[in-house]
Amino acid sequence: MRKFARELVALLLTGLVVEAALAPIAIFHFHRTGLYGAAANIVAIPLTTFVIMPAEALALLADTIGIGAPLWWVTGRAIALLLWIAHATGSLPGAVTFIPTMSRAAFAWLMAGGLWLALWRTRVRLLGLVGIVAGIAMTLLAQPADLFVTGDGRHLAVRGADGEVALLRERTGDFMRGALSEISGHNADDTILLDDLPDTRCGPDTCAATLLRGGRAWHLLATRSPYPVDRPAMARACLAADIVVSDRRLPDWCRPHWLKADRMLLARTGGLAIRLDGPSVATVAERQAGHPWAIVPPTLLADRRGVSPLGRLGFDTR
């Protein structure tokens, strides 16, 4: 019994080490991390190693003479049990923690600290804790952007004053709802509509909202239908707005005070993360510049004077 308990504790500690090593990667890419994976792995790892994989191998071997069906049944039941463990663990309260943003600097500190801690054998390895603590502190102190705009301009997420996430369109698909809520640090089930925020006026075609950020009021205007809007009314709304977001190409007479994120701009920049306390705009295109999968070649992101497409296509750099 003592040996069995020791092996069980070793398995649990191994799972905790794996969870700790993978957590920064999961947070950086997916804005979430699990908390109970180590406990679930106490059952999941032996189940996979000693039941699922041997049963599958025997089933494949038995298929050569046509008697693999019973072994495939065992494999199926074992995989079903594995999935049940995963779903049951994932549905527990607090099983998943959403962390809205992790900067590249924080990610680098965490990974460098973890590697330093793991590779050295003397006491000098403890210096790796400095990098880990620095990365954790930078991540916990970071605040997500106030507005997120998708690359096609159809979807907009606004972080409310109380931290809630408000979406522009009622019929937002599950995938997009989940993506926008996760980068805002919330569960997809906790999202609301932009209509529900205070100081917001929404109709079937447009939404106008007033957001208090950075010691001032920001006026946001967004379109949410493909239908024509009365030009005089739209021109007045654009003139009163600081930020306009649209999935259509807006005419030149629509001139907000700060940023016009219409189809023409978003085709060059991709999605936008907008911080109003500053203010600043981060673009997908500039983040991916230089990668072969970049939506815009890096040579198009800035001219020889270093002017970005935000400055050329509607972003008031002042």
Got the DSSP string for 106-120? HHHHHHHHHHHHHH-
Backbone angles phi, psi at 232, to 5 degrees: -60, -45
Mean pLDDT of 257-282: 88
pLDDT of residue 128: 93
Q: Is 31 left (phi over 0), alpha (psi -120 to 50) or beta?
A: left
Reported as a pLDDT band with limits 50, 70 and 90, residue 296 is low
Q: Is 253 exposed, middle or buried (0-12, 13-18, 19+ CB in 10 A)?
A: exposed
pLDDT for 311 beyond 50? no
Using DSSP's 3-state secondary structure scheme, residue 28 falls into: helix
| pLDDT > 70? residue 263 | yes
Task: Work out the pLDDT band at 312, boundaries 50, 70, 90.
Answer: very low
pLDDT, tens digit, for every residue of 233-251?
888 899 999 999 999 999 8
Residue 42 pLDDT: 78
pTM of the model: 0.67
Q: Burial level of 161, CB count in 10 A (0-12/13-18/19+)?
A: exposed
Per-residue pLDDT averaged across 279-293, rounded?
Answer: 78
Q: pLDDT by residue (tens digit) across 192-216? A: 888 888 888 988 888 999 988 878 8
Closest C-alpha to 35, from 117, 99, 114: 99
Q: Are strands 96-98 and 156-159 parallel, antiparallel or unpaired?
A: unpaired
Residue spans of beta strands (DSSP E) within the chain: 32-34, 96-98, 147-149, 156-159, 165-167, 192-193, 200-202, 206-213, 216-223, 243-245, 259-261, 272-275, 280-283
The answer to whether residue 25 scores a pLDDT higher than 70 is yes
Burial tier of 304 (Cβ tally within 10 Å: 0-12, 13-18, 19+): exposed
pLDDT recorded at residue 186: 67
- pLDDT band for position 294 (50/70/90)? low
Q: Where are the domains of the chain?
A: 2-98, 104-141, 147-312
**CB of 223 closer than 8 Å to CB of 245:** yes
Name the more confident of 296 and 16: 16
DSSP letter for 270, please.
-
Q: What is the mean pLDDT of residues 66-94?
A: 91
> What is the residue-averaged pLDDT of the chain?
83
pLDDT per position as a tens digit, 173-197: 878 877 777 777 666 567 788 888 8
Say whether pLDDT at 28 is over 60: yes
- Dist CA 13 CA 128 (whole Å): 19
Amino acid at 169: R
